[in-house]
């Protein structure tokens, strides 16, 4: 015999409510950690910390690129702290971290692991908030 109508049971929805809450906590924890790292790194770039100046000298594009990268990191880090802007901040950080990984691998050396971890965090945030991106795209069209 086939059941045509399902009955509502509050107990049946409780585990999904927990997962949703734990998912929200995990997302906000990730956003706070990633935002903190980008705010710190971007501030070092904008403040002209000697290691950052030396690294951007080694890249060879010019110090304007340090200011640009630092600005992107600070603005995107702040956007990660605003729920309605977090997805857009994460999207802006993805190509930034791809460039950082390539720079470490092919130009300045050193380990690209921090950039890879920040890339993973940014992708995770963008994916978790993809509904905001779809909504914005629908409003744009």
pLDDT of residue 136: 87
pLDDT of residue 140: 83
Q: Rounded mean pLDDT of 114-127?
A: 97
Q: Rounded mean pLDDT of 10-30?
A: 71
Give alpha helix (H) positions in the chain.
Answer: 10-47, 50-59, 63-79, 86-103, 113-128, 130-140
Q: Helix (H, G, I), strand (E, B), or coil: what is residue 113?
A: helix
Q: Rounded mean pLDDT of 22-46?
A: 96
Q: Rounded CA gap, 103 and 96, in Å?
A: 10
User: Does 50 have pLDDT greater than 80?
Assistant: yes
pLDDT of residue 2: 54
What is the average pLDDT score of the chain?
89
Q: Rounded CA gap, 29 and 137, in Å?
A: 26
Q: Rounded CA gap, 31 and 45, in Å?
A: 21
More confident residue, 19 or 57: 57
Confidence of residue 18 (pLDDT cuts 50, 70, 90): low
Q: Rounded mean pLDDT of 85-107?
A: 97
Helix axes of 113-128 and 86-103: crossing angle, nearest 10 degrees: 160
């Amino acid at each position: 015999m086939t059941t045509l109508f399902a009955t509502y049971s509050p107990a049946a929805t409780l585990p999904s409510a927990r997962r949703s809450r734990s998912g929200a906590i995990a997302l906000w924890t990730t956003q706070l950690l990633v935002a903190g790292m980008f705010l710190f790194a971007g501030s070092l770039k904008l403040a002209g910390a000697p290691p950052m100046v030396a690294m951007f000298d080694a890249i060879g594009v010019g110090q304007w690129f340090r200011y640009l990268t630092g600005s992107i990191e600070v603005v995107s880090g702040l956007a990660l702290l605003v729920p309605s802007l977090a997805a857009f901040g994460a999207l802006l950080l993805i190509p930034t971290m791809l460039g950082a990984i390539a720079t470490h691998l092919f130009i300045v050396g050193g380990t690209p692991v921090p950039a890879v971890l920040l890339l993973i965090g940014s992708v995770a945030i963008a994916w978790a908030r993809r509904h905001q991106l779809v909504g914005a795209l629908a409003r744009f069209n």
